[in-house]
Structure 1
């Protein structure tokens, strides 16, 4: 009996081990990218030495990689035979899955290549080969140029059709989008033209034909041809957003405009849902890359609004300021960049926008400084320094504004065009001075980022240079621009006025000494939302960084006129340029710089931020405020981070996270009242590092983990 039992146990263990190897072998690397671009067939790659990337299979054994092998072939049949005639990397012992540079035979313009990859786990078990990705090099490839996707078109069928009377229909597509209309209908001979009214604003009564501001309304008269025909009906050309400096759409796309509602008058037949489509134009977008759900319904609605805004406003393939001008601006693009990173694993459009703005800068002082913020975000989120290497000297010479620094280190921007906030009425009565507090707060942040960027290209001299300049500036900033009697910052040297902006920027950029934070944060709270939708990016950052998560959440879920909920309430499905027409009468209803909550929720409510370039190490430090439960997905270049937490009445947090392969995490759990003694990590007690009201645990590896406080 003993022998039989032993043989049975051995057989079971052997079977399980073989099954485990088989399961892993059937897994394979996923979501292949080349030059950050996803998709099976890619054109116009603009790099003779492109970078490859992939994501580890979700069920990979211990979610790790110890080695990989890449094949690149000149034909698909060769690749299917596992022959890499262009490049066979061989087995490379490395855990890396991003930014792996091509190292094979010379690639040629206008030629298509095919690649795939396999990997080995910690037990040296090989995976299956991945699916292939095809890529074609552009006809002209410069020394450095960012590759990007072609624009996509999607068909959207009506959410609702209301027949007002015979031949008169109101069509609601549910969401506003940039695009045109496609209708298929049969018409008898001799019928008059039918009217097509496009509008962003409407109701069951019809399209709003006087929507105010630059909220869009267009009318087109369409000739009806006898017989069955499919009509592509484009809005008319707009003179302003097709001027010299506006971003032009490809000719094959034609003219597009934002619209949600269509009203048809004198339509020649009965209209059914399958006859009419909203053809939307946008950059490729993965609807499932990110998600967020909490117990706060308004916050969920705000998240959905901001997420959709990233897709809808990408219609030119570059971040623009809305439909009125269709011009890129640095500050707009920075908020767009952070929020796009939060909702999709997409990096090419942000990099292209950043580089476009380096050669097409705009006028405000602080907008120039935003170029350094964009460069830093690009490097931290991608881990790729190609753009940085190509543009470092330009950033250093034109964007730091060092030449305007006084001997004491503060910038004097006399002769420049400081903006503080936009529109003008959103500046909280800011007192403009030659030494401007907001500009100098940005200057401090750019110096720190330049130090990090210098480190990213192994320039140690500049790293220490910029670190030292930042330290000197911080001392002088706090000596010259702080009102000790009131405990708050003034608008500039010689001013007696203290605005919201002069205080939220130093808090957001962590210039405020610890002993001053509470008073400055109290002042922010007292000023309310005395800023624009752009300024709200930094107000929310300042509130979270000063420990006021409750107040930040109140700002994001407010139902006041100055709120994201108001954008929903007035009927928009894309974030607005301003809180309401009252604050900017000519505003757009399609402006991505109004979508700050997308990145704020990801970076602060969920607390997910890169600690090392390319998310090699991540910070996960949720700040739940009054939220009771949250479940979310955050995309990164290395894969998806899952965050779920339950916030107990005594303000203890139960946190569940899933960390993708090749990433480690520093996790922080906030507490209130009595400091905890331990963190429970997967049921085991571990000691953490207590900083303020948070206990941190470092170097948590890939996989699913359960954390709570004891």
Structure 2
């Protein structure tokens, strides 16, 4: 890229923050009326409220949800006009697609006359259903065209949510305590009347000690003392929070000067108030990216699991304040592995794709040093492809992405070592510093001997991992990268290259099993030249389906002896691996555990956003606002309920519930085609699932057809002849499994 991404990003965020909208105004984007038979939830470039942003692609792509009464779509027609009056009168003076015979309702590319930068346009769409019945037009949607940049992703707008206190109490005649209920990246506005000039002392922070804000918190738990001059000439105030030196360095993501300094805090204390203060005088100004709370939901018969879902979902929302995925407040820097976990959970908690795409483009110019982190970029591309069905990023960055698979570091048997990276190769990865080097980290934080930190476990979060040039964790991630880049080559019709890549992937998988699996112990060792086996080497092999069927039992048995011997980051792959092996009861036990290496522990110690580590004793400089700790936000929808896209863009959804011992559960999962709603009840020997599939989507429900159970769908018997997969139609499907 020729232009620095940070400059482009900063300009974009400035524009979008200038267009901040109240969360209560979300429904005001549509500028005309429609009926129940017309398309709904229109978006441009995945932006649901485009009137508040600039669309930077001059050939934007349009998407909509097909109304439930239509079942499926057989054709569509898009109109685009230069004015609201024209669009209301069906006068398409910019583009009329005419009737297009197609069932596609997402990623429809503009094919009209050249759109002009700075102009405002209006569009709407109608469809024909599977029986050829024509709908009315949708509500019209307004959008503004901005200047095309080196990045192709249009960034979403931001919102400021006004939060009232849930607790307000006076601690003495001149001091009060305020609890806003949850920590947020925020500022605080308050009203205060005085007859004389004076100074109030305001304390804000994330943590309490007793009934007071902790003035000396550990690690990067946030606290700040602020002096607020007050006078008779002013009644409304906003805090002058001091910027943090570390998270405002040039490498950090910068927010516009027009936005007040933000600090994550939940509590406030006000001292020196000689006049009356009331709860309604205080407002937490919570800044976050565009968000719709009702696009996702989860509850179950397990109250601890419900609390963990709420914690993790809110963590994803609260940490969207920067416009791209950052690692928390300590640094405010995007890191690839953090971002991938954030991306997965963002997709399962809101119908938002633009932020992940912005972050992907950021990484193509701003890589970070851990070897594993480079290997997460392809995972981000693939998640974007599966959830949106869009191939633009793949088309633009395919050559650069091949470098990030690290295949150029392989030896004869296909296995790679980061030690083979040359300065020339580092430049291919996007590193500007010729001295930059890759470094394997496996998990974070590292061992006590490597940091000097006093840790509760001397080995850190690596389970005693022994580092060798040929590293099992690295090569498992590398194998997954090869699978992904093979698929992308096929998408781009690079058939011969796809064949070669597929052969290389098979070669690497074989080499991992031949050289990094100990047949005597039945587990994967950490690398070539050591007999040590860690949780990480085994969970990564299992998570990426490298383990042959005959070895799964021994690998799982070993993993279960290690417990949660990984970090909150590592838990993503641990839980995925265990679900792959069908260890549903053990996974549920891990997710609902209450010891100090659990998500419930984060709640117990008082945080409302997930931590960077399980507990402060496992990472002394940890922060209380780290999205990579929110793994259950994606594991619950994607694995416990088993709802994932089987084909790109959710054209076909896969639903493979692994409910374990739960007696009941309900879930709402956002997709680009509409929400999937599901309900489960266990009543004696009868398991009942009620699953509602959005229009214009196909779905496959997976169940065990070999356990002697009988199965009905919508009161019709199903004998499982198709291997335990039943196709679900759009609308409501009632499935019963009877032992």
TM-score between the two structures when normalised by the length of structure 2: 0.89
CA deviation after TM superposition for structure 1 residue 252, in Å: 1.1
Residue 405 of structure 2 corresponds to 400
CA 1:203–1:114: 2 relative to 1, 3 Å = farther
Q: Which of 83, 91, 99 is residue 107 of structure 2 equivalent to?
A: 99
SS of 1:502's partner is: helix
Provide the rounded CA distance (Å) in 2 between the counterparts of 1:26 and 1:702: 16
Tell me, what secondary structure is at the counterpart of 1:66? strand
Describe how 1:188-199 pairs up with structure 2 within 5 A. Answer: 188-190=195-197, 192-199=198-205
CA contact (8 A) 1:242 1:248 kept: yes
What's the counterpart of residue 81 of structure 2?
73
Q: Distance in 1 between matches of 2:524 and 2:543?
A: 13
CA shift for structure 1 position 690: 6.8
Q: 2:280 aligns with which of 252, 264, 274?
A: 274
SS in 1 for 2:644: strand
TM-score, with structure 1 as normaliser: 0.93
The CA distance in 1 between the partners of 2:561 and 2:157, in whole Å, is: 47
In the other structure, the counterpart of 2:52 is 42
Unaligned runs of 5+ in 1: 1-23
Cα deviation for residue 459 of structure 1 reads 2.0
Question: What is the match of residue 189 of structure 2?
Answer: 182
Query: Is 1:368 matched up with 2:400?
Result: no
Distance 1:549 1:211 in 2: 38
Shift of 1:616: 0.6
Shift of residue 628, structure 1, vs aligned partner: 1.4
Mapped partners of 1:701, 1:184: distance in 2: 55
Change (3 A) 1:302 1:689: farther
How much has 1:227 moved relative to structure 2?
A: 4.2
Q: SS of 2:177's equivalent?
A: strand
Deviation at 1:260, TM superposition (A): 0.3
1:610 aligns with 2:645: yes
Q: Distance in 1 between matches of 2:154 and 2:50?
A: 15
Offset of residue 689 of structure 1: 5.0
CA deviations 1:316-351 (Å, max 9, x no partner) are 111000000000000000000000001000000011
Residues 361-414 of structure 1 deviation map (CA, whole Å, 9 limit, x = unaligned): 000001000000000001000000111111111001x21111111101111222
Show the counterpart of 1:700: 728
1:662/1:459 Cα in 2 relative to 1: closer, same or farther (>3 Å)? farther
Query: Deviations for 1:592-640, whole angstroms, at most 9, x for unmatched residues?
Result: 0000111100110110111111011111000011111111000000111
- Which residue of the other structure, out of 709, 717, 720, is the alignment partner of 1:685? 717
Show the counterpart of 2:451. Answer: none
- Structure 2 residue runs of 5 or longer lacking an equivalent are 1-33, 421-437, 447-459
Q: CA deviation at 1:125?
A: 2.3
Kindly tell me the number of residue pairs found equivalent between the two proteins.
Answer: 675
Tell me, in whole angstroms, the C-alpha distance in 2 between the residues paired with 1:379 and 1:706. Answer: 30
Deviation at 1:67, TM superposition (A): 1.5
1:316 paired with 2:344, answer: no
For residues 521 and 266 of structure 2, the distance between their equivalents in structure 1, rounded to whole angstroms, comes to 50
Equivalent in 172, 179, 190 of residue 172 of structure 1: 179
Q: Secondary structure at the match of 2:168?
A: strand
3-state SS in 1 of match to 2:419: coil
Q: Secondary structure of 1:316's partner?
A: coil
What's the CA shift for 1:666? 1.6
1:137 Cα deviation after fit:
1.0
- 1:703 CA drift (Å): 1.5
Q: In the aligned structure 2, how far is the partner of 1:144 from the partner of 1:152?
A: 23
Match of 2:452 in 1: none
Cα distance in 2, alignment partners of residues 127 and 580 from structure 1? 55
Say if 2:180 and 2:267, in contact at 8 Å, map to a contact too.
yes
1:540 is paired with a residue whose SS is helix
1:317–1:689 Cα change, 3 Å: farther
Q: 1:690 to 1:90 in 2, by over 3 A?
A: closer
Distance in 2, matches of 1:538 and 1:508, equals 6
The within-5 A match list for 1:260-271 is 260-271=266-277
Q: Does the alignment pair 1:659 with 2:693? A: yes
In the aligned structure 1, how far is the partner of 2:359 from the partner of 2:204?
Answer: 29
Query: Distance in 1 between the 2:502 and 2:239 partners?
Result: 57
On the 8 A contact 2:50/2:144 being kept in 1, the answer is no
Residues 416-439 of structure 1: CA distance to partner in whole angstroms, max 9, x if unpaired? 311100001100000001110000
Deviations 1:551-600 (A, max 9, x none): 11111000010000000011000000000000000001000000011110
Q: CA deviation at 1:542?
A: 0.6
Partner of 2:545: 510
CA deviation vs aligned residue, 1:255-307 (integer Å, no higher than 9, x gap):
11100001000124222222111111110111000000000001011101110
CA spacing shift, 1:204–1:273, aligned 2, 3 Å: farther
State how far apart, in whole Å, the 1-side matches of 2:289 and 2:43 are: 16
State how far apart, in whole Å, the 1-side matches of 2:272 and 2:380 are: 50
Does residue 674 of structure 1 match 2:707? yes
Query: Could you tell me which of 120, 123, 142 is aligned with 1:115?
Result: 123
1:328-339 → structure 2 map (5 Å cutoff): 328-339=334-345
Deviating more after overlay: 381-390 vs 116-125 = 116-125
Distance 1:560 1:324 in 2: 26
Cα displacement (A) at 1:144: 4.9
1:493 equivalent in alignment to 2:528: yes
Mapped contact 1:647–1:654 kept (Cα < 8 A): yes
The whole-number CA distance in structure 2 between the counterparts of 1:704 and 1:549 is: 26
- Residue of structure 1 aligned with 2:585, choices 538, 543, 550: 550
Shift of 1:111: 0.9
Check conservation: 2:178, 2:269, Cα contact below 8 A.
yes
Asked if the contact 1:623/1:670 (under 8 Å) is kept, the reply is no
The yes-or-no answer on 1:574 pairing with 2:579 is no
- SS for the counterpart of 1:414 is helix
Secondary structure of 1:585's match?
coil
Aligned equivalent of 2:72? 64
